[in-house]
Amino acid sequence: MIELSQAAASEIGRLRSKQQANIFVRLAVKAGGCSGWFYDMSFDEAVKHDDRLVDCHGIQILIDSASLNYINDLILDYSEDLMGGGFRFHNQRAIATCGCGNSFSID
């Protein structure tokens, strides 16, 4: 379903440790951006009725049912460069991405 690199898992764990206990990572796809869709990642305290709970490297990720088809087979990575660090989304199903890499389109 979704794969987290060790770097992404470590960074999410670091960010989550600054939050309150029992908090989930929420990963969603929303309409917008240059190519039609963009990723939204946040922390959430509650599981909603249409969420799927995925466990990756001990990190519990919530994905709403509307986002599931867009996120299937997603690889989430984290890397740092001279400009700072950031999460990188590698979607095997994307047929196009914008120049900044933040939005994508699929069939």
Domains located in the chain, CATH noted = 2-106 (2.60.300.12)
pLDDT (tens digit per residue) in 72-106: 889 999 998 877 888 988 888 777 877 666 778 87
Start-end of H helices in 1-107:
6-17, 65-71
Contact predicate 40/30, CB 8 Å: yes
C-alpha count within 13 angstroms, C-beta hemisphere, residue 39: 27
Residue 57 pLDDT grade (very low, low, confident, very high; cuts 50, 70, 90): confident
Query: Which whole number is the average pLDDT over 52-74?
Result: 90
Give the model's pLDDT for residue 66: 92
Q: Which residue has the higher pLDDT, 50 or 81?
A: 50
Give the model's pLDDT for residue 100: 66
